[in-house]
Amino acid sequence: MAKVRLGIIFGGGSEEHPVSVKSAQEVAKHLDTRKYAPIWVGITKAGAWKLCDGPEAGWEDGRTVVLSPDRSVPGLLVLEEGKYETIELDVVLPVLHGKLGEDGAIQGLLELSGLPYAGCDVQSSALCMDKSLAYVVARSAGIATPNFRTVRVGEDVEGLTYPVFVKPARSGSSFGVSKVSGADELAAAIATAAQYDSKVLIEEAVAGSEVGCAILGRGPELFAGELDRIALSHGFFRIHQEDTPESGSENSTPVVPADIPADIRARVQETAKAIYRALGCGGLARVDMFLTDDGTVVLNEVNTLPGLTSYSRYPRMMAAAGVPLPDLIDRIVAGTAR
């Protein structure tokens, strides 16, 4: 049987570039090369596309490559000395996080190119990336969300009940997020968030545990991994901003499986599936929620291309449910919408 020509795109121009590279390195370690012929494409922070041997040191020196937007020539075009070489692809696995990778941008480019790709489509990617829009859609489906408002830098904001969280509406990995305890801290927090997005979200602090659910599949048949619970000693969860996240966080520990009763665990999983469907997700996503003391499940956010690093939550939850990373990669690729 011929190997699947799998294009794997990583890196990107967002603040999550280093996380994406680490995710790609983990995929490289666990990819079954008996099944796949990987074609690695790294995107530098400046936006240059590089054909390389893998996501290891020096990949930025690879040959210049672009994605063909012409459906009659699907795949990659390698540009060299005024000529180009065509590399055909069967399917693309984006291993990108944040802006231009998780917001529908790369998905739109792949749609134009006529290439099948793993993960959520343009619409669901863009919707989940914007937390305020995701909240509106989730609320219309009867799912609880935090109370929130969106603001711009310099806008007067009154009538808040503190504490609140201030965050970029369209960013990830807790970049630009601040917990604000009083009005005197608000302007600085908005300015911090605005470094990552012109649209800033202010949302109420939800009293409860932070729990996550890894979802795999599309349509009516969804698979939910084990839940995790983020045990915090102080502050809030921001693992990707630690100096050495591989060795753990200074204020948080993920508990997998989550130490909550079986009936509540099932309720959280079903809520995660309902959120996934309401937002139009397909392929894979990690649904982050709050679980309050009275058992209410509240949406936090949805990550449509969750991290696949050695310390990432999504693969840990799937592994705890009996799906190790090599099998997870197979299932993600097999579930590609064509």
Q: Which position among 17, 19, 26, 170 bears the catalytic label?
A: 19
Q: How far is CA 306 from the centre of its chain?
A: 3
Q: Assess whether 196 carries a catalytic annotation.
A: no
Could you confirm whether 276 is annotated as catalytic?
A: no
pLDDT, residue 242, reads 56
pLDDT > 60? residue 247: no
Query: Terminus-to-terminus CA distance in the chain, angstroms?
Result: 20
Q: Which of 97, 99, 229, 265 is catalytic?
A: 97
Sheet holding 178-180, edge to edge: 148-151, 200-204, 164-168, 178-180
Q: How far apart are CA 160 and CA 135, in angstroms?
A: 18
pTM: 0.91
Give the pLDDT confidence score for residue 324 in this predicted structure: 97
**Catalytic residue at 307?**
yes
> Which of the four pLDDT bands, split at 50, 70 and 90, describes residue 239?
low
Given the residues 17, 22, 167, 265, the one annotated as active site: 22
Catalytic residue among 34, 158, 246, 338: 246
Let me know if 122 is a catalytic residue. no
User: For residue 338, what pLDDT is reported?
Assistant: 47
pLDDT digits (tens, 9 = 90+) for 73-130: 889 999 888 788 999 999 999 999 999 999 999 999 999 999 999 999 999 999 999 9
Over 70: is that where the pLDDT of 18 sits?
A: yes
Sorted by sequence, the CB contacts under 8 Å of residue 7 that are 6+ apart come out as 38, 39, 41, 75, 76, 89, 91, 92, 93, 115
CA–CA separation, 100 and 108 (whole Å): 10
Do you find a cis peptide bond into 257, omega within 30 degrees of 0?
yes
**99: number of CA atoms within 13 Å, CB side?**
13
* pLDDT tens by residue, 24-80: 999 999 999 999 999 999 999 999 999 999 999 999 999 999 999 888 888 999 988
Domains and CATH numbers, the chain: 4-117 (3.40.50.20), 126-145+207-334 (3.30.470.20), 148-204 (3.30.1490.20)
